[in-house]
Amino acid sequence: MNFITIECNKVQAMIKRSLLITNAFVLRTEHEQLILQDPVTNVQRPIPIEDIGTIVLDHHGIRITQPAVNKLLAHNVSLIYCDNNSHMPSGLLMPLESNTIQSERFRFQIEASVVLKKQLWQQTVKSKIENQALAYEATQQKESAFLKRRMTEVKSGDTDNQEGQAARHYWGKLFAPENFTRDRFGEPPNNYLNYGYAILRAATARAISGAGLLPTLGIHHHNRYNAFCLADDLMEPYRPWVDYLVWKKNKAKTIYEDLNTEDKADFIRLLNADVFINNQRKPLALALTTTAVSLVKSFTESRPQLVFPIFRKCDADNVQS
């Protein structure tokens, strides 16, 4: 059977599998197993649903039964759907209920003060710029005084838009000496960044849902058409890991108009890469859970206590690319 399953390279029961399915399989459930069936050969591959964290569906001929969808959602599995033409992630399906005390946590989240949310956004932006500076230093092999200065000047709510100033400098230098502009609809490697961010966003939404929070209610991002504003908030300091992986591919001159299957698998493998958070190393997917839980604590105790990982080149270099 031709599909890719990405697992942690160490024995760790808490790590969930990520599946990238690029063939027209039939997905159904049987005895708490997800069954992947080849409709031509009828060969079947069972996978325990409790072991799965993310499934990327990247073929227009994939068929998934409603019982399978319900069972996957009940186990907090995120389903990422890809566009038939571009094969880029185009949709995300997440459970509405995934935590036994989520109504209580919803209340704390909804009642969070504007002051608290501004302080939380300040923490988020500072962490993002710090990791951008560290990623910049890893790629350019020189210190970024500008980014570090922007980090120290972030105010509550980032009223001076230090995030934007840092981004302009960061993207202007990251792929230097090439004339690169970060644009979602721009030339490669923008397509690689888009794909990596989509996978990261789905993993962030899964961690938020598992922590019993509403992914729709952001601390900064607000859009009536966006169901994952909070995921867009919390993923910000994690973006440099995607950036660094894309930088490595660009340096190796393996950036193309369309991502191949191995490129996509690399971004999914990133979820199992070790990062340094709370003075310990843990897979990025579990770090997202740590961040989400720290946000719960911030809401329930009404004070900013967000925890994010710190970018380290030694960890990022261990991500397969």
pLDDT over threshold 80, residue 99: no
pLDDT over threshold 70, residue 101: no
Check residue 2 and give its pLDDT. Answer: 52
Model confidence over 146-182: pLDDT tens digits?
Answer: 999 999 999 999 999 999 999 999 999 998 777 788 9
- Whether the upstream peptide bond of residue 46 has omega within 30° of 0, thus cis, is no
pLDDT over threshold 50, residue 12: no
Instruction: In whole angstroms, give the CA distance from residue 43 to residue 41.
Output: 5
CB 151 within 8 A of CB 170: no
Q: Name the architecture of domain 102-316.
A: Up-down Bundle (1.20)
- pTM assigned to the model: 0.87
Residue type, 71: K
**Which residue, among 139, 126, 130, 127, has the nearest Cα to 172 in the 3D structure?**
139
Task: Give the helix ranges, DSSP H, for the chain.
Answer: 66-74, 102-110, 114-140, 145-152, 162-174, 190-210, 229-234, 239-251, 261-269, 284-301, 313-316
Instruction: In whole angstroms, give the CA distance from residue 247 to residue 175.
Output: 7
Of the CATH numbers 3.100.10.20, 3.30.70.1560, 3.40.980.10, 3.20.20.70, which one belongs to the domain with range 4-93?
A: 3.100.10.20
Q: Supply φ then ψ for residue 289, to 5 degrees.
A: -65, -40
Beta strand pairing call for 78-82 and 52-57: parallel
Mean pLDDT across 53-69: 94
Q: How far is CA 30 from the centre of its chain?
A: 29
Instruction: In whole angstroms, give the CA distance from residue 232 to residue 310.
Output: 18
Give percent of the chain above pLDDT 70: 93
Q: Where are the domains of the chain?
A: 4-93, 102-316
pLDDT over threshold 80, residue 3: no
Residue type, 247: W
